[in-house]
Structure 1
Amino acid sequence: MEKKKVVVGMSGGVDSSVAAYLLKKEGYDVIGVTMQIWQDEDEFTQESNGGCCGLSAVDDARRVAERLEIPYYVMNFKKEFKENVMDYFMAEYLKGRTPNPCIACNRYVKWEALLQRSLAIGADYIATGHYARIAKLENGRYAIKNSVTAAKDQTYALYNLTQEQLSHTLMPVGAYTKDQIRAIAEDIGLMVAHKKDSQEICFIPDDDYAGFIDRECKGKVPPPGNFVTVDGEILGKHKGITHYTIGQRKGLGLALGHPVFVVDIRPETNEVVIGENEDVFTTELYADHINFMAIPDIETEVRLKAKIRYSHAGTMCKVIRVAEDKVKCEFEEPVRAVTPGQAVVFYQGDYVAGGGIIC
């Protein structure tokens, strides 16, 4: 029987490297691919950027592919990345929202673009080093399932994948803990066994989002405006709405004698609303751009667990259909810093039921 062919997205990190090894061990015909998605790096950035898509990642991924004796290629996805991730990221911040670029990258670049190119060269699957699992449920639908390790679980950033994409995806790392993955890499002699994980957004290695937007969007960046209270009282001047996000406490430059927080951003009046800690909590949100996964749809309402950010443990809520592409979430206990532009991801047990963008 002919081996199934799988294209593994290799970032030069330990997780995707071991994913390639595990799939080869399982008998797949494995091809390693690094997606060149960020633009040109200078030497300093290459050295400091342990990210998933820089030029420095290519050297590590190529050496791993040689060690595993699998073919290896670099594919250029700069155009897709700029349009679907960078441009989207900047546009959202200019609207006073806080986007999640990794979710956009997963859906439109790592899957849509890479999968289409992989299928075109005869591959049956693509695979990544994400800490998540894929299951086909009794209802016939594919769903992302929590990884065995809650500490590294990456299901939140994958809620937006389509049924077609999931049916052509393998995620072997989700069955292991990070320590086990590093141990496997060490056992088979991979030099990336103890490479540090990337934390920052890959195209902003210095983590200065506002500075990046200022440089890239000259002439479009909203000017400084007023900090105001919930009741409209002016408290001082802010640096521009792109510098702030909901729930932020540090870096406000307001001396009010006690901690205060960003509770709203109003691009239409160029105001940043400041409030007390209790003002940052809410029991409801609305979301659109809904993608269903474990469940096919919500006809009226359903009780699910919802995560409103990557680090959120999740809170039970009632998810109510309110329009064709809009749901309302009513939480059973207050949640902190619901942030427009971020994702809300719904879970049914261990499975991702679906999700959307907080609006």
Structure 2
Amino acid sequence: MQVDFQLGRPAQGARIVVAMSGGVDSSVVAALAARSGAEVIGVTLQLYDHGEAIGRTKTCCAGQDIYDAKTVADRLGIAHYVFDYESAFRGSVIERFADEYMRGRTPIPCVSCNQGVKFTDLLGLARDLGADCLATGHYVRRVLGANGPELHRAADPARDQSYFLFATTRAQLDYLRFPLGDLPKPLVRELARDLGLVVADKPDSQDICFVPGGDYAAVVKKVRPEAAEEGEIVDRDGRVLGRHRGLIHFTVGQRRGLEIGGQKEPLYVVRIDAEARRVVVGPKSALAVRTARLSGLNWLGEDQRDGLSAKVRSMARPAPARFEPGSDGGSIHFDTPEYGVAPGQAAVLYEGERVLGGGWIEETAAAELEAA
């Protein structure tokens, strides 16, 4: 299988840097790059290694994964370098993750990682190495449009990672390549087996790399011990219904873990008052959102406003919406009330398969309040 890396010149005289995490996806990208005839350099960033501490090797930043990336590079006959970015990763991703929880928000660390360490620092490394492009194993498509490269969803909807890449800038997109965007995951594994790569059957990571076993609270408590301070659980009128063991255990939309009995209807977390250390609960209807204000807007489209769709969670279906730009970002208006919308999440806007951009949700307007 051959892939056109759109290098703008003959591959035999070009250089491709591949971001290699030690997983099957980036390993196949390295193999496809090597097949193109270009000089290929594999680069692995050492970000956060908890694998040794917990005896687990399936996470993207564990020491075993660095070894796997090197083994694949040796198999392909390409150069491989490891760069220590643990300090930068801690400051821009882990500490930000903890601080967002402290503020009562719902953080999306994978976006922060792509926005910073991976697509800023790693891209800079690739340029320093004289590469014509940086190729990654993300499942997303780079499509050449009338006004330059566009970001599109992956052909395989089950693997699409476009939600996590909304902050990719136009300049970065011009330099990046995503060879797996048109491929289904089973075919990627088949290619890895045909190439004899040791990672062909390596399981995909199911957790955020620095959150062992999905225990977010333990990570936040370690970084910010004060996050475990207790507080009150109150209804929307301020009546105390119970107590909680720390804001780090709750996000907007959550129902489990409240441990409040004797209520007429199920209660959900509808708001977190970080300053007062209060968890505010209410009925499911209180979670319905019609409008969300965004900050940190990154826009890849033209002047589209109507006929769009928005995703507020990576696994959510895009919901019909309208976008209204503003001086400090903009706002999205859902055609019908949307649930599970919380400050701190990313809202990503699409026009069909194309990613137009997105931003960080700062505040929301409840549908029931707008109706009133």
TM range (shorter): over 0.9
Equivalent-residue separation in structure 2 for 1:41 and 1:136 (angstroms): 39
Alignment partner for residue 169 of structure 2, among 162, 179, 183?
A: 162
Alignment partner for residue 178 of structure 1, among 182, 185, 192?
A: 185
Task: Look up the match of 1:312.
Answer: 316
Task: Look up the match of 2:85.
Answer: 77
After superposition, what is the alpha-carbon deviation per residue over 1:298-322, rounded to whole angstroms, capped at 9, x for unaligned?
Answer: 6xx433110001011110111112x
Equivalent-residue separation in structure 2 for 1:119 and 1:149 (angstroms): 30
Task: Look up the match of 1:265.
Answer: 272
Task: Look up the match of 2:257.
Answer: 251
Structure 1 residue runs of 4+, over 4 Å off?
A: none
Equivalent-residue separation in structure 2 for 1:337 and 1:357 (angstroms): 14
TM-score, normalised relative to structure 2: 0.90
Where does the alignment leave 5 or more consecutive residues of structure 1 unmatched? none
Residue 345 of structure 2 corresponds to residue 342 of structure 1: yes
Task: Look up the match of 2:95.
Answer: 87
Q: How does 1:39-188 map to 2 (within 5 A)?
A: 40-41=49-50, 43-45=52-54, 47-140=55-148, 142-188=149-195
Superposed displacement of residue 44, structure 1: 5.0
Task: Look up the match of 1:328.
Answer: 331
TM-score, normalised relative to structure 1: 0.94
Q: How does 1:181-200 map to 2 (within 5 A)?
A: 181-200=188-207
Superposed displacement of residue 239, structure 1: 1.3
Equivalent-residue separation in structure 1 for 2:137 and 2:120 (angstroms): 17
Equivalent-residue separation in structure 2 for 1:43 and 1:90 (angstroms): 22
Q: Does the C-alpha gap of structure 1 residues 58 and 222 become closer, same or farther in structure 2, counting only changes over 3 Å? A: closer
Superposed displacement of residue 42, structure 1: 5.7
Percent identity for Structure 1 against Structure 2: 38
Residue 239 of structure 2 corresponds to residue 233 of structure 1: yes
Equivalent-residue separation in structure 2 for 1:183 and 1:281 (angstroms): 43
Superposed displacement of residue 227, structure 1: 0.8
Give the SS at the match of 1:347. strand
Q: Does the C-alpha gap of structure 1 residues 42 and 149 become closer, same or farther in structure 2, counting only changes over 3 Å? A: closer
Where does the alignment leave 5 or more consecutive residues of structure 2 unmatched? 1-9, 363-372
Q: Would you say how many aligned residue pairs link Structure 1 and Structure 2?
A: 351
Superposed displacement of residue 255, structure 1: 2.1
Q: Root-mean-square deviation (CA), in Å? A: 1.6
Equivalent-residue separation in structure 1 for 2:81 and 2:239 (angstroms): 58
After superposition, what is the alpha-carbon deviation per residue over 1:243-270, rounded to whole angstroms, capped at 9, x for unaligned?
Answer: 1101111122222455321111111222
Please say if residues 94 and 222 of structure 1, whose CA atoms lie closer than 8 Å, have aligned partners that are also in contact.
no
Equivalent-residue separation in structure 1 for 2:344 and 2:353 (angstroms): 25
Amino acid at match of 1:109: V
